[in-house]
Structure 1
Amino acid sequence: MTPEAQARNKRRTVWLLSLLVLGMFGFGFALVPLYSVLCQVTGIQSVSIRSAGDGNINQPTGGSAVREDPRLVTIKFDTSVHPNLPWDFSPRKRNLKVHPGKLYQVDFAAHNHSSEVVTGQAIPSVAPWQATAYLNKLECFCFSQQTLTGGESVDMPLRFMISPDLPEEIRSVTLSYSLMKLENTQSESKKHEKG
């Protein structure tokens, strides 16, 4: 290969590598809007929506109360448990009629059927996805991991409010929780028991 051809190949390689670096840099910036689109399409509550919603909760200005809407919205609670988690998990109430702008609490019951300490994490989702930004959770068991000893039962509270800004056409909102087993936490607790 001639020195001229080698120089041309080197220039082409440098050019292609430069394009690859620029493409990777651009993809890194595109991940945030792509994540938002994915959350909207699937109805999963994104971190940014949860943070924005939690920051606006119950913060009256000038000592006035949060505006309560006279209309009623039906909230449905749905739960599922991953097959490898030996728990029962269900809401104490399946449906609740709520006034937007008013604070409500619902308890979810969990029971560990096994004889071992097991840790789970609830993953929330909202349907229709358009209602996600209007469902504000003040307190939720889904904010942290839940650990139950063998045979233990517990009530886990959810305190929430539907924003009065919820579009009029949305009359019903379903809040679903998928409960998953956390393997790493369980193995760490076994290590502590042995040590």
Structure 2
Amino acid sequence: MGMVLFTIALVPLYDVFCEVTGLNGKTATSAQVMSAQGRDETRWVRVQLVTRSGTGLPWRLEALDQVIAVHPGEIAQARFRFTNTSDVRSSGRAVPSVSPSQGARHFRKMECFCFQEQWLEGGESIELPLVFQVDPALPADIQTLTLAYTLYPMSEVVAQGGYRE
């Protein structure tokens, strides 16, 4: 019985651990408060946008803006194109990860297609935005953040217990 309770408690404990340490590439969301500091125009941070499609989903995901230079505290936008290369309607979800992991807690997505499942008709292509901000409290030695999205079929995301931002 003790092992069952331990197993049940493990997932929420892992989420708390990742939130506190910034490990696992989880990022801040719009509901979480950024540093009270304003825009830091004395430095730039490079944000690299990387995409890949997981197995089992006949979609392409492209970052139309592959590298963006931002001042910490500045609100920025990037564009992504989703294309369903099959002839049938299907759904998928983009799961993000930020590296280095120490920078993940300083990356806030204000508007993101990754917040919800996406549906595309066969052959359909759409462009969706990502609106984000890098916290001015990002350590000065981190000059580049890489935001990677992996696109999964929705059935796989659900089978893994869902994705929580």
- TM-score w.r.t. the length of structure 1 is 0.69
SS in 1 for 2:28: helix
Q: Which amino acid aligns with 2:147?
A: L
The CA deviation at 1:184 is 8.2
Listed one character per residue, the Cα deviations across residues 136-159 of structure 1 (whole Å, up to 9, x for unaligned) are 110000000000001110001100
- 2:33 counterpart residue number: 56
Aligned counterpart for 2:120 among listed residues 148, 170, 184: 148
- Map 1:25-36 to 2 at 5 A: 32-36=12-16
Q: CA RMSD in A?
A: 2.8
* Equivalent of 2:133 in 161, 169, 172: 161
Structure 2 match to 1:191? none
Q: Deviations over 1:62-120 (max 9, x none)?
A: xxxx7111110000001110131111111001111110001001010011111111100
Change (3 A) 1:114 1:78: same
Superposed CA deviations along residues 31-73 of structure 1, whole A, max 9, x for unmatched, are: 544444467586331xxx635x633159x8xxxxx71111100
Mean alpha-carbon deviation: is it higher for 79-88 or for 123-132? 79-88
Map of 1:11 onto structure 2 = none
Matched, 1:178 2:150: yes
* More helix per residue: 1
Unaligned runs of 5+ in 1: 1-19, 61-65, 186-195
Q: Are 1:132 and 2:104 counterparts?
A: yes
Aligned residues: 155
Distance 1:114 1:128, change over 3 A: same
1:103 maps onto 2:97 in alignment: no
**Does structure 1 conserve the Cα–Cα contact (< 8 Å) formed by 2:22 and 2:103?**
no
Matched letter for residue 50 of structure 1:
A
Find the aligned partners of 1:145 and 1:83 in 2 and give their Cα distance: 17
- The alignment status of 1:68 with 2:39, answered yes or no, reads yes
Relative contact order, higher structure (CA 8 A, sep 6+): 2
**Given that residues 47 and 146 in structure 2 are in contact (C-alpha distance below 8 angstroms), is that contact kept between their aligned partners in structure 1?**
yes
Percent identical among aligned pairs is: 29
Q: Give the SS at the match of 1:130.
A: helix
**For residues 105 and 139 of structure 2, what CA distance do their matches in structure 1 show?**
11
In 2 relative to 1, CA 43–183 (structure 1 residues): closer, same or farther, beyond 3 Å? closer
- CA distance in 2: counterparts of 1:30 and 1:182, whole angstroms: 24
Question: Counterparts of 1:84-123 in structure 2 under 5 Å?
Answer: 84-123=56-95
